[in-house]
Amino acid sequence: METPTRSLATEAVHAGREDLAALGLHAAPLDLSTTYPSPDSRGEAARIDEFAATGAPLEGPQVYGRLGNPTVARFEEALARLEGTESAVAFASGMAALSACLLVRGSLGLRHVVAVRPLYGCSDHLLDSGLLGTEVTWTDPAGVADALRPDTGLVLVETPANPTLAETDLRAVAYSCGSVPLLVDNTFATPVLQRPAAHGARLVLHSATKYLGGHGDVMGGVVACDEELAGALRRIRFATGGVLHPLAGYLLL
């Protein structure tokens, strides 16, 4: 958790845009390039290998749209600052974002998920079907601690839930999780009303398609988290390709 130094209202206006004045720009630039000039192809190949291995944010010239995009990076920066996390990683949709979170933990052999119902219908389906090789134990908030196993990779709650608006006490659930990362779907509250990282969530997920987009013209997803998990999420995003389109990133910003 970073200590907020500016009000949320100020962050909402300036985060992800601080360099614009020095660039002589008023509106954020929209970079639609999929690929970029490669003056040093050996060096570039090494940077791609490095990114594939670590997911560390790319320094220097852009390479290819699946590694990252400068317009999308502005949206990620803004969302991280609003949620009070170190980083954020954007995806093509909320379901792509959730899939990446499951894959990050599953790739470590931690395939068991403890989830509190109700969840958004497709999240429920993704877990219940086991399509990504995960196994779910459904429980209520009071049952989280007892449901944990040595191979539990994630605890998942959504509050307020879509569509029932059921609420969960995040601090109590975070305590029950122990060292297992708590993922909170914050789609319905938005960081304006609730910042789960301040209550112990390690992953804060949004379907950006809903309130963050706000105008019904964008599909997107985003996960706000610490840089360690962000690197793992970028690796999965690079390997599986669920990137947010730059125009969607521009509209979300």
User: Nearest to residue 1, comparing CAs of 101, 60, 84?
Assistant: 84
Q: Does 120 bind ligand PLP (CB under 6 A)?
A: yes
Residue 170 C-beta: closest distance to ligand PLP, Å: 15
Q: Which of 55, 68, 181, 221 binds ligand PLP (CB under 6 A)?
A: 221
Residues acting as catalytic residues: 66, 120, 185, 210
- Cα-based angle 87, 214, 128 (whole degrees, multiple of 5): 70
Beta strands in the chain (DSSP E): 87-91, 112-116, 135-139, 152-158, 182-185, 203-207, 221-225
Residue 47 C-beta: closest distance to ligand PLP, Å: 30
Residue 249 C-beta: closest distance to ligand PLP, Å: 14
Binding mask 40-79 for ligand PLP (x = CB under 6 A): ----------------------------------------
Q: Does 204 bind ligand PLP (CB under 6 A)?
A: no
The region of 43-51, 132-140, 183-191, 196-204 touching ligand PLP under the rule CB under 6 A is 183-191
What string of DSSP letters covers 145-180? HHH--TTEEEEEEESSPTTT-----HHHHHHHHTTS
CB 176 within 8 A of CB 157: no
Task: Specify the 3-state DSSP secondary structure of 209.
Answer: coil
The CA distance from 190 to 196, in Å, is 10
Q: Which is nearer to ligand PLP, 29 or 121 (CB)?
A: 121
- By CB under 6 A, name the binding residues for ligand PLP: 93-95, 120, 122-123, 158, 162, 185, 187-188, 207, 209-210, 219, 221
